Chain A
Amino acid sequence: MKRKRQTAAVVLIAAIVFLGGLAFFCIRYIIEGENWTFYQANEHIYTDGEMTKMGNITDRNNNVLATTVDGKRVYSEDSSVRKATIHVVGDSSGYISTGVQNALRTQLTGYGKLNGIYTYSLTGNNMQLTIDPDVSVAAMNALGNFSGCVGVYNYKTGEVICMVSTPTYDIADEIDLLKAQNGEYKGVFVNRFLSSVYTPGSTFKMVTAAAALETMGDSAYTNEFICKYGTTIEGEDLSCVGRHNTVSLKRAFSHSCNAYFSQTALSMGKKTMTKYAQIFGFGKQFSIDGIAAATSSFNVEDARNIDFGWSGIGQYTVQMNPLQYLCAVGAVANGGEYAVPYLVKNITSANGYTLYTAQTETERIMGKGLSEKVAELMDYAVADNYGKASFGTLDVCGKTGTAEVGGGSENSLFVGFCKDEGLPLAFVVVVEDGGSGRSSALTVANKTLQSAKYNLCE
């Protein structure tokens, strides 16, 4: 029977199909394994829908922020610490997706594709954060009933000292689902510092100033514009808060002259402005330890001249992200390169092995000369206008912003850094509906920095 040999191929084909199925499953295991593991019905990790197989989360002083006791996840003993750190730590049900408990769940549980959820000690890994709870509480209290966010980090090392977002809630309280449906918890699960974008307002003037300083050289300082409660671009008014008369760069920056910077932006052109916006991180996605932030945007390609003028002072469609700004200010303070911010100081297994230690990494975004010139402007702004004395003994440089966000609302912003050798901190403060930047955001920044000085420089 000549063809007999071929008929056995049916078995071979069946075996190959079977092998193909196994291979396909392996691919699914690699791609979807993590999602399968972190399904809430997995009792290796969850108890009653709460993630419990995780190690301790501690702050920079080794105080416990979250731990598991008797199969239940418990948080800091202090109610205000719980509220101030909830957005960093995250909740146990996964509502706050950017909290480390959710975003870094694989590190906390010790999950890996090789070992599954197995760890030698059968418990999760411990994680020490760079957060200071007292500074966080001070920032939260300073924000008070306002919605907003405060981010403070060490621009030399990259340690994030404080990342607070309001409104917030106490995780020890059971979430009332009925209230949640009525909008009681509206926005509390969002970490505004990471996941929000805001209109930058006048804080954007540091970008416009940088563009002018580098393109025009020293003539940027002498170049003058006339401000009569604003200016007119192609027949449309662009208003200013005061009548600044003839202004040059330094005074225009410290007194936040809209006329000067919109005209400067126009004279720079869209291409140059876009280039410098990109240098300051616009359009790029930033992240902390792999937790991605929202992406800022600066898009003037199709803007009319008047709109482009508005964009030069941070209005129009310009959107900044607080984390992006923190990095940008960090670079200005640190000679043009920012230390990449991180939250996780180290990860250790339950039996004491160090699995990960954070290291300072820097990224250069602008030249040293330019950063120093922008820093000098921010220094002058505080000295000339807001007053160095507002910050006590701290040598603070910064720029305020009052962003019109429609409906008569104004967001208040203050971004800057401390020049002090012992306290190299950069900060970004946003107070929603806070009025002018000078009134609310500056106060919040000051209270936070004073607390940082008290708690970090002993």
Chain B
Amino acid sequence: MQEFIRGFITAVRYVQPIMSIVIMLFSFMSVFKLHRKNYRYTVLLDDMTEIQLYTPESFLGSDSSADVYFESAQPFHGIITATENTCTVRPCKKSRIAVNGKLIKKETAISSYDVLSAAGREFSVRKKTTAQKLKSVSSFLAFTALNLFQILMALSFVLTGYSFVVLLCFFVFMIAQWIYLCLTRFKNAAVEIPVLYCLTLGLSVAAKVSLSALIKQEICMFAGLIGALLLYKIIINKTLFEKLKLVAVLVSLGLFAANILIGNIYNGAQNWIEIFGVSFQPSELIKVIYIFVSTASFETAVKGKNTLYFVVYSFCCIGILAYLSDFGTALVYFVVLIAVLILRRCNKKIVISICSAAVLCAAAAVIFFPYIARRFLSFGQAWQNAYSSGYQQTRTMIAIASGGLFGVGTGQGNLSYVAASDTDIVFGLISEEWGLIVAMCAALCFVLLAVFAVKCFAKCPVLYAIPVCASAILILAQAALNIFGSVDMLPFTGVTLPFISNGGSSVISCIMLIAYFAAAGVNNKKEEAL
């Protein structure tokens, strides 16, 4: 029996990395095949000129950046939204657009044969489909590999002496994932499967900590999933999405206020609050709200308005986080802010001035809070301080090198005895026990989300494109700070690794971010086809 277990564990050692590679390979393939276009929209004007629409949203008007330029129109006259299945037109404020001679007031679906008139000109929007057939990559193989990965993981836990409850927890998780993928769009699970892969690793990490941590983590994952579905329902409704932004701002500021007033200090940062015996990190949940607020409708994005409010709100958040000594999260927020400003096509001068202001603030922090600066600037010297400030980073690197590409096996690692092995240096824990390949595949998941976001950007309305890209940036920034911080390539900030770090608030907020990916990917299929 003992010999059988050793043989099994040895086999798992090599099969798991192969499964990981299969999962990542097929997920990347389906993401790359995703959102290719085999259609294009053109506007046919009354003087028989044709204008091609390159982006899903285009506007007509007399502004110099207008896609369809009418000399006599308002600067921002109307907006044409042309996605794969639908094409709509809506007039901007105080401008008049007629469809087949009938004035419209709100967003109206149009077909290729409808004649539109605005500012004395007549035109129609035509969709042209090319003969090219788009094959989508089936997620079947990736999903099979994922399931096998999970089963092997659960079995290796049980065979190395962990409780059967671990097996049960993995089983429940798998059932939940089947239900979820059946209910949603199983055929296009390019994002979900890599995220589920990361969550599996998150469960494994929690299982190593304790049974109660595992159960808590799993409950939080389900809570995050429910939260994501709710969020998805809200944001899929464009008007509700825009209206709730102000509410979101107020909720987040309220949470911050609560954090300042009744927050607990833990690990040097005052970022925990406890309500009815449940403790959580408001800064984690506020991330979701921050992304929610970051978005802008096409009109506001095009006019460059609304940006100021967002910048002020961002600085409030970042200031409060710095006040709470949560500098890692503050840095992540700042990166997202800059990305959002670029995504919103904000004036370059404003972006540069904000960046320089931030540099000044950082310089001020270095001068007035030297101990913070020391912690931030001591990276790259972990081996010289292997028994003081570099303790966790050096142990992480030792663990990664000891694990090799395939790991030393479940439960055989030593890094779990080091503080924060399930959160701040979790990359090392995964690498030591299950190998660098598995850990790298997990890191590639974050890249995949970013590629997905870029792919979405060219194909979905700005309202959804900004949050999906902002989420991708947020996840990437957090992953970079966590992974590279733990191996001494960036400051060690204590930011969590998305989906994987053991911790309820973190996993809930990260899963909720997936709602933005889902909303961007769905493309409003429910609406009437052209």
Residues of B within 8 A of A271 (CB): none
Query: What 0/1 readout, one digit per residue, does chain A (12-41) give for beta carbons within 8 Å of chain B?
Result: 101101110110111011001110110101
CB-based contact A8/B457 at 8 Å: yes
Nearest neighbor of A3 in chain B, beta-carbon distance: B345
CB-based contact A10/B342 at 8 Å: yes
Supposing A1-B67, A5-B55 touch, asked if A37 and B398 sit within 8 A by C-beta, the answer is: yes
Q: Is B302 an interface residue (CB 8 A)?
A: yes
Supposing A14-B473, A41-B394 touch, asked if A7 and B302 sit within 8 A by C-beta, the answer is: no
CB-based contact A115/B405 at 8 Å: yes
CB-based contact B408/A118 at 8 Å: yes
CB-based contact A18/B401 at 8 Å: no
Q: Is B226 an interface residue (CB 8 A)?
A: no
Q: Which label, helix, strand, loop or mixed, suits the secondary structure of the B interface?
A: helix
Residues of B within 8 A of A7 (CB): 342-345, 457
CB-based contact B454/A8 at 8 Å: yes
CB-based contact B404/A18 at 8 Å: no
Q: Is B57 an interface residue (CB 8 A)?
A: yes
CA distance A106 to B421 in the complex (A): 27
Q: Is B450 an interface residue (CB 8 A)?
A: yes
Nearest neighbor of B470 in chain A, beta-carbon distance: A11
Residues of A within 8 A of B487 (CB): 25, 28
CB-based contact A8/B489 at 8 Å: no
Q: Quick one: which of A8, A29, A41 has the most chain B CB within 10 A?
A: A8
Q: Is B462 an interface residue (CB 8 A)?
A: yes
Q: Is A353 an interface residue (CB 8 A)?
A: no
Q: Is B236 an interface residue (CB 8 A)?
A: no
Residues of B within 8 A of A39 (CB): 383, 386, 394, 398
Residues of A within 8 A of B57 (CB): 1, 4
Contact of B395 among A4, A19, A41 (CB under 8 A): A41
CB-based contact A24/B476 at 8 Å: no
CB-based contact B398/A114 at 8 Å: no
CA distance A45 to B399 in the complex (A): 11
- B374-429 at interface with A (beta carbon < 8 Å): 383, 386, 394-395, 397-398, 400-409, 412, 414
CA distance A12 to B32 in the complex (A): 13
Q: Is B145 an interface residue (CB 8 A)?
A: no
Nearest neighbor of A24 in chain B, beta-carbon distance: B489
- Minimum C-beta distance from B36 to chain A (A): 14
CA distance A41 to B385 in the complex (A): 13
CB-based contact A11/B450 at 8 Å: yes
CB-based contact B484/A25 at 8 Å: yes
Supposing A1-B67, A8-B454 touch, asked if A44 and B414 sit within 8 A by C-beta, the answer is: yes
**How many residues belonging to A are interface residues under a CB distance threshold of 8 Å?**
43
Q: Is B453 an interface residue (CB 8 A)?
A: yes
CB-based contact B443/A22 at 8 Å: yes
Q: Is B298 an interface residue (CB 8 A)?
A: yes
Residues of B within 8 A of A14 (CB): 339, 450, 472-473, 476-477
Q: Is A42 an interface residue (CB 8 A)?
A: yes
Q: Is B237 an interface residue (CB 8 A)?
A: no
Q: Is B10 an interface residue (CB 8 A)?
A: yes
Q: Is A395 an interface residue (CB 8 A)?
A: no
Query: What 0/1 readout, one digit per residue, does chain B (323-342) give for beta carbons within 8 Å of chain A?
Result: 00000000000000001001
Q: Is A186 an interface residue (CB 8 A)?
A: no
- Minimum C-beta distance from B40 to chain A (A): 14
CB-based contact B457/A5 at 8 Å: yes
Q: What size tier do the contact residues of chain B reach? A: 35 or more
Query: What 0/1 readout, one digit per residue, does chain A (124-154) give for beta carbons within 8 Å of chain B?
Result: 0000000000000000000000000000000
Residues of B within 8 A of A25 (CB): 483-484, 487, 489
Q: Is B211 an interface residue (CB 8 A)?
A: no
CA distance A341 to B480 in the complex (A): 50
Q: Is A376 an interface residue (CB 8 A)?
A: no
Supposing A15-B450, A116-B408, A118-B406 touch, asked if A10 and B398 sit within 8 A by C-beta, the answer is: no
CA distance A29 to B407 in the complex (A): 14
- Minimum C-beta distance from B120 to chain A (A): 24
Q: Quick one: which of B10, B339, B454 has the most chain A CB within 10 A?
A: B454
Q: Is A179 an interface residue (CB 8 A)?
A: no
Nearest neighbor of B477 in chain A, beta-carbon distance: A14
CB-based contact A118/B13 at 8 Å: yes
Residues of A within 8 A of B189 (CB): none
Q: Is A304 an interface residue (CB 8 A)?
A: no
Query: What 0/1 readout, one digit per residue, does chain B (474-513) give for beta carbons within 8 Å of chain A?
Result: 0011011001100101000000000000000000000000
CA distance A12 to B476 in the complex (A): 11
CB-based contact B469/A8 at 8 Å: yes
CB-based contact A15/B476 at 8 Å: yes
Supposing A1-B345, A8-B469 touch, asked if A34 and B10 sit within 8 A by C-beta, the answer is: no
Q: Quick one: which of A14, A32, A115 has the most chain B CB within 10 A?
A: A14
Q: Is A113 an interface residue (CB 8 A)?
A: yes
CA distance A122 to B411 in the complex (A): 13
Q: Is A307 an interface residue (CB 8 A)?
A: no
Residues of A within 8 A of B476 (CB): 11, 14-15, 18
- B436-451 at interface with A (beta carbon < 8 Å): 436, 440, 443-444, 446-447, 450-451
Q: Is B156 an interface residue (CB 8 A)?
A: no
Which A-B residue pairs are the 4 nearest by beta carbons? Answer: A116-B404, A8-B457, A36-B401, A15-B450
The 24 sampled A-B contact pairs (Cβ below 8 Å) are A1-B55, A1-B57, A3-B345, A4-B57, A7-B342, A11-B339, A12-B451, A12-B454, A15-B454, A18-B446, A18-B450, A18-B480, A21-B483, A22-B483, A24-B489, A29-B400, A33-B401, A36-B397, A43-B414, A113-B404, A114-B405, A116-B404, A116-B408, A120-B10
Give the A-binding residues of B (Cβ under 8 A).
6, 10, 13, 54-55, 57-59, 65, 67, 298, 301-302, 339, 342-345, 383, 386, 394-395, 397-398, 400-409, 412, 414, 435-436, 440, 443-444, 446-447, 450-451, 453-454, 457-458, 462, 465, 469, 472-473, 476-477, 479-480, 483-484, 487, 489
